[in-house]
Structure 1
Amino acid sequence: MTKTILLAVSGSISAYKAADLTNQLTKLGYDVHVLMTEAATKFITPLTLQVLSKNPVHLDVMTEDKPQIINHIELAKQADLFLLAPASANTIAHLAYGFADNMVTATALALPTKTPKLIAPAMNTKMYDNPITQNNLKQLHEVGYQEIVPRSSRLACGDVGRGALADLTTILKAVQVIL
């Protein structure tokens, strides 16, 4: 049976890597449904991810195309895995505190507790190492999120350090281990 992955993309320069990730997951036979924050759409277009996933991209928690279902609830019920890649500091904070103000966070909050959840942070080193972000990640670990730790690299801002999105092979391996 085909496994369903909810790939949540948040606002990070690494959002462009979601195209390759979507493509690779689809080639591996997964049914990929992409959720995006508004900030993510500034880095990569939903159409790109729709074409690669062969599924509609979900952008707005208040848009209900089928009146008989509540989109974020149905998506959460169908998920075999929730994968947030890249995970911005903002989205991590929203998840840690239970905000449901966009499609990504509302769907995450609606996930059954048994659904595996992977989170792949991508942000500036100082943002990642900030005690607030680390505390938010700790809170997410405590409720079942598994972190795919970021790489150390030269970041888009020019800084060098921990915060680059994990390599796609590392992310794909984590997905395959869980599924």
Structure 2
Amino acid sequence: MAKTIVLALSGSISAYKGADLVSQLTKKGYEVHVIMTKAATQFITPLTLQVLSKQPVHLDIMEEKLANRINHIDLGKEADLFLIAPATANTIAQLAQGLSGNMLTATALALPADTPKLIAPAMNTKMYCHPLTQKNLKILQEIGYKEITPRHSLLACGEIGQGALADLDIILQKVEDTLSE
């Protein structure tokens, strides 16, 4: 039986890489369920990810199409792995504080404690290196998230520094390593 990955995209320019990530994960035989924040939909359309995953894309915590299903709870129960890629500073802060105002954060809070969780930050260098972002990442690591460290690169803002989403081959390797543990 195929392992189920819940892939959550937050609103970084790197969200467009979600299409390639979903495509590669499904080609490897994983069942991929995608969650997007509203901001992520500004960078890539849900339809693209739906076509590639062959699954509905989850956008709104209040949208429950089936009366016998509570999406943010059931997605968490079904996940063999929860992956946030890209994870913005805003999403990281919300998760660290236990906020659940969107589908991504609500699903994260509803995950069973033993569900493996990977987080791949993507943001401006100053935002990534900011003491509050680093503190929030430490909080997430304390509750079981494993960080996939961002690359040092030319960023969308024109600056050079750490903050670019990790290369997809590194993310894919982390997924495979985590699921084989």
Q: Which moved more, 1:140-149 or 1:65-74?
A: 65-74
**Counterpart check, 1:80 vs 2:83:** no
**Counterpart check, 1:24 vs 2:24:** yes
Partner-residue secondary structure (3-state), 1:84: strand
Q: What is the rounded CA distance, in whole Å, between the counterparts of 1:71 and 1:166 in structure 2?
A: 29
| Pairing of 1:153-172 with structure 2 (within 5 A) | 153-172=153-172
Could you give the per-residue CA deviations for residues 112-165 of structure 1, whole angstroms, max 9, x where no partner exists? 000000000000000000000000000000000000000000000000000000
Q: What is the rounded CA distance, in whole Å, between the counterparts of 1:151 and 1:8 in structure 2?
A: 19
Tell me how far 1:68 sits from its aligned partner.
1.2
Q: Quote the RMSD (CA, aligned, Å).
A: 0.4
**Is there any run of 5+ residues in structure 1 with no aligned partner, and where?**
none
TM-score normalised per structure 2:
0.98
For residue 137 of structure 1, what is the aligned residue in structure 2? 137
| Pairing of 1:56-95 with structure 2 (within 5 A) | 56-95=56-95
**Is there any run of 5+ residues in structure 2 with no aligned partner, and where?**
none
Q: What is the rounded CA distance, in whole Å, between the counterparts of 1:151 and 1:143 in structure 2?
A: 24
Percentage of identical aligned residues: 70
For residue 177 of structure 1, what is the aligned residue in structure 2? 177
Tell me how far 1:69 sits from its aligned partner.
1.4
Q: What is the rounded CA distance, in whole Å, between the counterparts of 2:91 and 2:50 in structure 1?
A: 22
Partner-residue secondary structure (3-state), 1:67: coil
Tell me how far 1:169 sits from its aligned partner.
0.2
Tell me how far 1:178 sits from its aligned partner.
1.0
Structure 2 counterpart of 1:120, one-letter code: A
For residue 100 of structure 2, what is the aligned residue in structure 1? 100
Query: Aligned residues, how many?
Result: 179
Moved over 2 A (4+): none
Could you give the per-residue CA deviations for residues 44-93 of structure 1, whole angstroms, max 9, x where no partner exists? 00000000000000000000000111111000000000000000000000
Q: What is the rounded CA distance, in whole Å, between the counterparts of 1:163 and 1:32 in structure 2?
A: 25
**Counterpart check, 1:53 vs 2:53:** yes
Structure 2 counterpart of 1:143, one-letter code: I
